[in-house]
Amino acid sequence: MKTIHIHDLTFQLLISRHEIEKEVLRVAKEISHSYAGKELVILPILKGAFMFTADLVRHISVPQTLHFVTLSTYGDGTSSTGKVNHIQGLESLDLAGKHVLIVEDIVDSGFSISFLQKSLHTQKAASIEVATLMYKPKAFQGENLPRFKGFEIANDFVVGYGMDYAQRGRELPDVYVKVGEKEA
């Protein structure tokens, strides 16, 4: 099994680019079907969702606009802090009457998406849903899991396909899971 090192940690291949491609296509079809005849405002959460978003929107067949939001919870560690310490991109955003789709790389505790959903509460959007490539049901503490979801994974730390470890690994086309410390 393919192993890589990032900073002080060792990671092993978990989900290949081919599996990701198939799943992204499946999720995109589900979204296109659900919003048939409607228009979407897509709100990807940066930085992690940049790659998933780029692949996903190419296969969403309803009219759409994109508006990027930056939000961070993780810092440089490998577990969720449960605190959103930064949110950017909601200024001059008018979502009244719009169908909004938040796009996330991975949902862990669910605090990030719930924070963003609360921040959008005053906007009077027609609907607000979440699409995520990955989610960790055992870590989730929110009320409802995202409406559109890809891979269910264990409560482990992953990198690649947009997701980082201390800002590294985002460019990897496959997803890797942490298996331990790097040997000296």
CB atoms within 10 A of CB 67: 14
Query: Looking at beta carbons only, is 4 or 62 nearer to ligand 5GP?
Result: 4
Catalytic residue at 8? no
Active site residue: 8, 108, 156, 164, which one? Answer: 108
Contact 40, 97 (CB under 8 A): no
* 175 lies in the site for ligand 5GP, by CB under 6 A: no
* 6 lies in the site for ligand 5GP, by CB under 6 A: no
Residue 60: name the closest of 48, 50, 52, 69 by CA. Answer: 52
Residue 62: name the closest of 97, 24, 34 by CA. Answer: 34
Residues 108-127 that bind ligand 5GP (CB under 6 A): 108-112
Residues 2-61 that bind Mg ion (CB under 5 A): 48
Q: For the chain, what is the radius of gyration of the CA atoms? A: 16
Please state the closest distance from residue 52 (CB atom) to ligand 5GP, in A.
11
Q: How far apart are CA 150 and CA 133, in angstroms?
A: 5
Interface contacts to ligand 5GP, rule CB under 6 A: 45, 48, 73-74, 80, 104-112, 157-159, 163-164
Residues with catalytic function: 108
Interface contacts to Mg ion, rule CB under 5 A: 48
